[in-house]
Amino acid sequence: MGNQEIMDLAATCLMPTYARFPVALVRGQGMRVWDADGRQYLDFLAGIAVCNLGHCHPHVVEAIREQAGTLLHVSNLYHIEPQVRLARLLTEVTFADRVFFCNSGAEANEGAIKLARKVQKDRGEPERTEIVSATMSFHGRTLATLTATGQDKVKVGFDPLPPGFTYVPYDDVEALEEAVGPRTAAVLLEPIQGEGGVRVPSEGYLRRARELCDVRGALLILDEVQTGVGRTGTFLACEHDGVKPDICTLAKGLGGGVPIGAVLATEAVARSFGPGTHASTFGGNPLVCAAALATVRTILQEGILEHTQRMGTYLLERLTELARGRPCISAVRGRGLLIGIELAGDRKAKDVVTAMMDRGFLVGSAGEQVVRLAPPLIVEPEEIDALLSALEEVV
């Protein structure tokens, strides 16, 4: 089928939850994807920071093929070898001692919220139920995680929302100090706000949040669903600040393109999730864990983190040069290969996204006025140069 046939069929049977672009992508390889009519695009969005190794990376493809012919699913009533090996690898390269696997970032954040409340009850402080999160944050689409999200637009029509959530301005230490008190179970923050406009906090913000939680008895949860697994040039973005959370959530880039989420926690915290407290039928099944193992090993063993740092610096510098003297761009910010271009005045990000697609480039948005770039971590300078040439025409 061609693009139009696929779109016509979709209009008859899919729930209209997405404002999709008029293109159907059917094949990918590395930095490139092709639509149903055969047109090629350079992908600078990577499935929204999912395909960190690009499309159909040979290590990931081979791992999936081998596992698919061996064992697809048995449930967590039994031990699962790829799951155990992936958990061990994640604990070796992060702060965490224990891992719980699920299927998405929203599920991971839901699990983190449950775990934080359970920890406080186990500590003998059942009054600590409140989750403090930041305005302009995004944590998922379940009832609890959309309530934790600091953006009203995702909550419209879903009342009544669960109680126990409060919000403070992002990157505001004083507001955080005022909000964290005897009823606070945890502070939930993104090391870099993705959907909120690729907002990088000030130096020391995360460290102060860590200190504040320690002093006042709250847990620190870092939502690394978008920033984790190498996206910012370190395996976890919080490593840039030398901060170790109590709980961290991963998803997007973890599986190399297949759906998997994870809740990482310290031993002291993880022990509150005993048998029967939390579960997932498909979470950590053999297939997705095999894909994630191949993804994480490749990132760690083939110099991908260092490459991400170099390419991120190059892209940010070139974008800063492009913005200089162009009043249509008010700011360029980001870390590693998660970068936002904020447009000035009444210019809309969706117009830039559409214009770039017309030129054969896939980019995204993060709010109405921020163009988001989150390319595969394998991007090369010549591909960045091609993007910049097209972007210069558009802006």
Instruction: Answer yes or no: are the C-beta atoms of 50 and 257 closer than 8 Å.
Output: yes
- For residues 8 and 27, give the distance between their C-alpha atoms in angstroms, rounded to a whole number: 19
- Determine which helix (DSSP H) or strand (DSSP E) holds 70, and give its type and residue range: none
Task: State which fold the 3-56+303-394 domain adopts.
Answer: Aspartate Aminotransferase, domain 1 (3.90.1150)
3.10.20.30, 3.60.21.10, 3.40.50.800, 3.40.640.10: CATH of 60-301 = 3.40.640.10
Instruction: Answer yes or no: are the C-beta atoms of 191 and 234 closer than 8 Å.
Output: no
Angle at 73 between CA 70 and CA 76, to 5 degrees: 130
Position 61, amino acid: V
- For residues 387 and 389, give the distance between their C-alpha atoms in angstroms, rounded to a whole number: 5
Over its length of 395 residues, how does the chain's per-residue pLDDT go in tens digits? Answer: 999 999 999 999 999 999 999 999 999 999 999 999 999 999 999 999 999 999 999 999 999 999 999 999 999 999 999 999 999 999 999 999 999 999 999 999 999 999 999 999 999 999 999 999 999 999 999 999 999 999 999 999 999 999 999 999 999 999 999 999 999 999 999 999 999 999 999 999 999 999 999 999 999 999 999 999 999 999 999 999 999 999 999 999 999 999 999 999 999 999 999 999 999 999 999 999 999 999 999 999 999 999 999 999 999 999 999 999 899 999 999 999 999 999 999 999 999 999 999 999 999 999 999 999 999 999 999 999 999 999 999 98
Instruction: Find, among 240, 232, 293, the residue nearest to 262 by Cα.
Output: 293
- For residues 76 and 79, give the distance between their C-alpha atoms in angstroms, rounded to a whole number: 7
- For residues 63 and 50, give the distance between their C-alpha atoms in angstroms, rounded to a whole number: 17
With tokens 């090369």, the residue in question is 380
- For residues 86 and 290, give the distance between their C-alpha atoms in angstroms, rounded to a whole number: 8
- For residues 338 and 225, give the distance between their C-alpha atoms in angstroms, rounded to a whole number: 12
What the block records as the tokens of 199 is 């907002």
- For residues 391 and 353, give the distance between their C-alpha atoms in angstroms, rounded to a whole number: 10
Q: Let me know if the fold of 3-56+303-394 is the same as that of 60-301.
A: no
Q: Which of the residues are catalytic?
A: 138, 223, 252
Task: Give the pTM.
Answer: 0.97
Report the number of secondary-structure helices (H) and strands (E) in the chain.
13, 15
Please state the domain extents for the chain: 3-56+303-394, 60-301
Cis peptide before 160, with omega less than 30 degrees from 0?
yes
